[in-house]
C-alpha cells in the first residue's frame, strides 16, 4: 500500500477555526440584531404615516374617518356601502406591523384626536419600554 503526501487539516485545527468563527459571530450578532429592531421601529413609523395619509384621503372623499367597526380594511377594499368611496387609498393591504401584530385603530381617538392609530411594539400589548414601546401616529 502506498500513501500519498496529501496535506490536510487536523481535527484540532478545524475545532480551533470553528471556535474562532463562533467568537467572532458572538461579537457581531448583538449589533446586527439591534439594527434589526431599529429597522422594525422605523418601518412601523413609516407604515403608520402611510396609513394616516390614506385615512385623510378617505375622509376627504367620504366626509368622515372609517369607523372602528369598518377598520383599516376600507382603505384597500370597497365594502360597497360607503357613498363617495374612491379608493384604493393604499396600494396594498397593511394588516400587521413589523412584529406581526395588527395595528390598533379606534375612532374617536384620545386627547381630542380624530382617531387612534398605533403599533403596540414587539410584545403586541399596550404600554412597554424599549422594543415593546407603543408607537403612535401622533408621536
Residue 33 confidence (pLDDT): 65
What domain count does the chain have?
Answer: 1
Q: pLDDT tens-digit profile of 98-108?
A: 999 999 999 99
Asked whether 43 and 98 are in contact (CB, 8 A), the reply is: yes
Does residue 125 form part of some domain? Answer: yes
Q: pLDDT tens-digit profile of 29-45?
A: 666 666 677 888 899 99
Asked whether 101 and 120 are in contact (CB, 8 A), the reply is: yes
| E runs forming strands in the chain | 104-106, 116-119, 135-136
Does residue 3 form part of some domain? Answer: no
Kindly tell me if the per-residue pLDDT of 86 is higher than 70: yes
Kindly tell me if the per-residue pLDDT of 84 is higher than 70: yes
Does residue 6 form part of some domain? Answer: no
Does residue 65 form part of some domain? Answer: yes
Does residue 93 form part of some domain? Answer: yes
Own/partner long-range contacts of 11-18 (Cβ < 8 Å, ≥24 apart): none
Scan for cell 413589523, then name that residue.
98
Does residue 74 form part of some domain? Answer: yes
The predicted model gives 44-68 an average pLDDT of 93
User: Phi/psi class of residue 111: alpha, beta or left (left: φ > 0; alpha: ψ in -120 to 50)?
Assistant: left
pTM above 0.85, yes or no: no
Task: Give me the domain span that covers residue 44.
Answer: 13-136
CA distances from residue 114 to 40, 107, 130, 133 in whole angstroms, order as listed: 26, 7, 27, 22
Residue 69 confidence (pLDDT): 92
Q: Which three cell numbers stand for residue 89?
A: 387609498
Kindly tell me if the per-residue pLDDT of 114 is higher than 90: yes
Does residue 128 form part of some domain? Answer: yes
* CATH number of 56's domain: 3.30.700.10
Residue 5 confidence (pLDDT): 64
Amino acid at each position: 500500500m502506498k500513501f500519498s503526501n496529501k496535506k490536510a487539516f487536523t481535527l484540532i485545527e478545524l475545532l480551533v477555526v470553528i471556535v474562532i468563527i463562533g467568537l467572532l459571530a458572538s461579537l457581531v450578532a448583538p449589533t446586527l440584531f439591534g439594527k434589526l429592531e431599529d429597522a422594525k421601529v422605523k418601518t412601523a413609523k413609516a407604515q403608520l404615516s402611510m396609513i394616516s395619509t390614506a385615512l385623510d384621503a378617505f375622509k376627504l372623499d367620504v366626509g368622515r374617518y372609517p369607523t372602528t367597526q369598518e377598520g383599516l380594511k376600507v382603505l384597500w377594499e370597497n365594502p360597497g356601502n360607503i357613498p363617495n368611496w374612491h379608493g384604493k387609498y393604499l396600494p396594498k393591504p397593511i394588516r400587521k406591523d413589523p412584529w406581526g401584530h395588527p395595528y390598533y385603530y379606534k375612532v374617536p381617538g384620545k386627547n381630542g384626536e380624530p382617531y387612534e392609530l398605533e403599533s403596540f411594539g414587539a410584545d403586541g400589548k399596550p404600554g412597554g419600554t424599549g422594543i415593546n414601546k407603543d408607537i403612535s401616529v401622533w408621536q
